[in-house]
Structure 1
Amino acid sequence: MATMLDYINEEEAILKQIMMKYQPVAEPDLEQLTTLLILATGSSYNACLAAKATMEKIANISITIEEPYNFNHYGTIPNSVDAVLAVSQSGKSASTIDAMAHIKEKGKLTIALTGNSESPLSDMVDYLVDIDMGIETVGFVTKGYSATVLQLILLSLTIGHSKGIVAEKIDFYQRELDKVIDKIPEIIEQSNHFFERYEELFKVSSRYIAIGYGPNWGTAKEFETKFTETVRQPSQGFELEAYMHGPYLEANNEHILFFIETPSVNLARSKKLRDYMKPYVGKVLTITTEKSVDEGTLGLDINCDEFVSQLALVIPFQLLAYKIATTKGIDLNQRIFDDFDRILQSKI
């Protein structure tokens, strides 16, 4: 039986395979795209949040991300929206399918990003992008998350190419993506050592918080999802400034704070908050693309553009989620709530 760890170890090969297949091709339907609405939930939503700033920068578009169930019942489509992108790894999310059915009636261009090209979602859109990551039987998605982020960035390169963005810009981001993907085995090894250093602390901790900015706001939210699903202790991911507007008030010595950092105009503010919080919580740890400066820092030492750093910085949290759950005695191969989808009809 495959485990979450098996899929983490497959990520380098899967992402390299995606990159090898990718060729920017001009798509007439995407040439005039300036405003994109994305519908996604769960880890798909987190992946979209992680890719949003990168997509907007590369393709010169404006993106709004909505939860499909809420949008379907309470949302409206502004006239300014050129296209709607539905993201679902399974392609069977009932709320996403229902929302897209209503959107089709509005005459908007519809796009699906899914790992199942024969799914109900795939059959109802104008433009289909295959996540192309094979089968992931474990419910706690890891390689599917990373492949979704990568495909969203590549979609933005396609949109950019279709709009006439210079080839040098596309080449730059392809090189940066290759650089990060090449480092994945080393990141996994570094993350294993980091876990071993703090295993006893992780084993007894009962509250986990991650704080990120820019593309890694999405990384913080995926941390929240993965730790909630696997470690099954209170876990939250915050955008840097949002944490400073109230959530810090609950801080106590039972909290572990993870700061997700990469060189940016926001780095100094993150460091200032990190230093301030140290006396008030059980432990402050840093996951960064820069070099390690102390034992509380997992430094990946990758000189990469901030807008592709989310592909690197999510890997430690995927591995830590699996390792911490295991050290707490949680058997992730033991299925729970088996009747949930059937009774709640969240998937078809």
Structure 2
Amino acid sequence: MMDYIQEEQATLVEILQGFVPKKEEKRAAIENLLILATGSSANACLAAKYAMEKLAQITVTIEEPYHFNHYGHLSKEIETVLAVSQSGKSASTIDAVAQLSKQDIYTIGLSSDPESPLAQKVNESIDLGTGIETVGFVTKGYVATVLQLYLIGVSIGYSKGILSDDQVSTIKSQLGEMIEAIPQVIDKTIDFFEKNASIFKLANRFVAVGYGPNWGTAKEFETKFTETLRVPSQGFELEAYMHGPYLEANHEHVLFFIEAPSLNQSRSQLLHDYIASYVGKAYTITTATAKNSDTLGLDVACEETFSSLLLVIPFQILSYLGAAAKGIDLSKRIFDDFDQVLKSKI
């Protein structure tokens, strides 16, 4: 798992350098995009949704494919569907695309395997650019998905004439500078964990609160911590946490507040200051510089739009190191027959 995290910078550099937008008719026609994804892929889509809508001036709707296939209704406004599955083998996503192919809907697939079952079902297949990630707790594939979604947004915006060549160049430069900072993000996170290892070892309930694109980061925290530390872990959107879930807060809880420059940052900080005395520990993970020992400051100049690309990396590392602190051997597979019995993967 850590090996894949260490590979993230090189992978993202390659993806970004290989991106050359072209004027594409199919991209220019997109106004309302439906994304089908589940698990970490869905979290990545939520993390990238704000950037895609801003860059391309489109409306993005994200649906769980199984629910959509069995209970959903395809709006007449939707002209394009993007199916996201890192493995390309998610049965629910493939089934949903198969049903949509019977209608006059243009389908795009994003996966790490150009020969995957999903790639065979869509009108257009995009290679995630990571190769097959053999560890079940996806990390490199997650950040690659977020970046690829940003670039799809850029591609749509460029095809529509919303983004100029100079603007595309500026965006690529911004993303490049962020990607260049990944090694320092990794080092800072490892140092932060080492100073707080006892908290992770003993805690039995973790909660993360994020806003804007980092609602997606909070949901990926939920997925990763649940998969690896195997204790109750939940990610909330800032305002949603303030409408009920805060009532369960107690001294056995460890909270993470995920922050990037935003009008909502002061509200997050106000909640942090209020709830800190009611929980065991309240940490802040921020793109800014750390102001105290309970803050992991990445110290990276980064606008909120793209902040989710970097802010997820600390949680990937903390999930791995936290599991080790609890004595959990992540190399030992559990529930080996799950996909076969439940038919969740093809």
| Pair in the same fold by TM > 0.5 | yes
Cα distance in 1 for partners of 2:89, 2:108 equals 15
Please list the CA deviations of residues 151-177 of structure 1 after superposition, one character each: whole Å capped at 9, or x if unmatched.
000011111111112323322221111
Please state how far the C-alpha of 1:15 moved relative to its aligned partner: 0.4
Aligned-partner residue type, residue 42 of structure 1: G
Question: Counterpart in 1 of 2:223?
Answer: 225
Runs of 4+ in 1 over 3 A off after TM superposition: none
Describe the SS at the equivalent of 1:117: coil
Q: Which residue of 2 aligns with 1:35?
A: 32
- Residue 155 of structure 1 aligns with an amino acid whose one-letter code is I
Contact 1:176–1:305 (CA<8 Å) still a contact in 2? no
Does the residue aligned with 1:121 lie in a helix, a strand or coil? helix
Counterpart of 2:60 (choices 63, 68, 78) is 63
Q: Are 2:154 and 2:163, in contact at CA under 8 Å, matched by a contact in 1? A: no
Counterpart check, 1:305 vs 2:293? no
How many residue pairs match? The answer is 345
Rounded to whole Å, the distance in 2 between the matches of 1:257 and 1:153 is: 28
Match of 1:290 in 2: 288
Greater Cα offset, 131-140 or 164-173: 164-173
Q: Tell me the equivalent position of 2:277.
A: 279
Q: 2:11 aligns to what?
A: 14
Q: Which residue of 2 aligns with 1:93?
A: 90
Matching of residue 162 in structure 1 with residue 159 in structure 2? yes
| More displaced stretch, 305-314 vs 49-58 | 305-314
User: For 1:81, which of 78, 83, 86 is the aligned residue?
Assistant: 78
Q: d(CA) in 2 for partners of 1:248 and 1:316? A: 24
Moved more, 19-28 or 191-200: 19-28
CA-CA distance at 1:297 after TM superposition: 0.5
In the other structure, the counterpart of 1:112 is: 109
1:130 aligns with 2:127: yes
In structure 2, give the amino acid aligned to 1:273: L
2-side partners of 1:185 and 1:30: how far apart? 34
Q: Please, what TM-score do these two structures have when normalized by structure 2? A: 0.99
For 1:261, the equivalent position in structure 2 comes to 259
Indicate yes or no: 2:184 matched with 1:181: no
Match runs of 1:319-334 below 5 Å? 319-334=317-332
Give the 3-state SS of the residue equivalent to 2:231 in structure 1.
coil
Cα distance in 1 for residues equivalent to 2:138 and 2:163: 35
> Scaled by the length of structure 1, what TM-score is found?
0.98
Q: C-alpha distance in 1, partners of 2:132/2:36?
A: 22
Question: What are the ranges of 5 or more consecutive residues in structure 2 without an aligned counterpart?
Answer: none
Gaps of 5+ in 1: none
Say which is worse superposed, 18-27 or 316-325, in terms of deviation.
18-27
Question: 1:251-273: CA deviations, max 9, x gaps?
Answer: 00000000000110100100000
Aligned-pair Cα RMSD in Å? 0.7
Amino acid in structure 1 at the alignment position of 2:59: S
Counterpart CA distance in 1 for 2:327 and 2:30 is: 49
The Cα shift of 1:120 comes to: 1.2
Which amino acid letter does the alignment assign opposite residue 54 of structure 1? A
Query: In the alignment, which residue of structure 2 is the partner of 1:121?
Result: 118
* Partner deviation per Cα, 1:276-332 (whole Å, 9 max, x = no partner): 001100000000000100000011111111111111100100000000000100000
User: Partners in 1 of 2:219 and 2:44 — Cα distance?
Assistant: 9
How many Å separate the matches in 2 of 1:125 and 1:185?
Answer: 36
Q: CA deviation at 1:135?
A: 2.2
State the alpha-carbon separation in 2 of the partners of residues 50 and 311 from structure 1: 8
Distance 2:10 2:301 in 1: 21
1:50 to 47, 51, 59: 47
Q: Which of 200, 203, 206 is matched with 1:205 structurally?
A: 203
**2: distance between equivalents of 1:135 and 1:74?**
32
CA contact (8 A) 1:131 1:147 kept: yes
Q: In the alignment, residue 150 of structure 2 is paired with which amino acid?
A: I
Deviation, structure 1 residue 65: 0.3
Match of 2:343 in 1: 345
Task: Report the 3-state secondary structure (helix = DSSP H, G, I; strand = E; otherwise coil) of the residue aligned with 2:7.
Answer: helix
Give the Cα separation in 2 of the matches to 1:32 and 1:347.
Answer: 32
Alpha-carbon distance between aligned partners in 2 of 1:166 and 1:50, rounded to the nearest angstrom: 21
CA distance in 1, matches of 2:27, 2:15: 21
**Distance in 2 separating the partners of 1:157 and 1:254:** 43
Tell me, in whole angstroms, the C-alpha distance in 2 between the residues paired with 1:27 and 1:320.
Answer: 41
Question: Sequence identity of aligned pairs in percent?
Answer: 59
Tell me the secondary structure at the aligned position of residue 208 of structure 1: strand
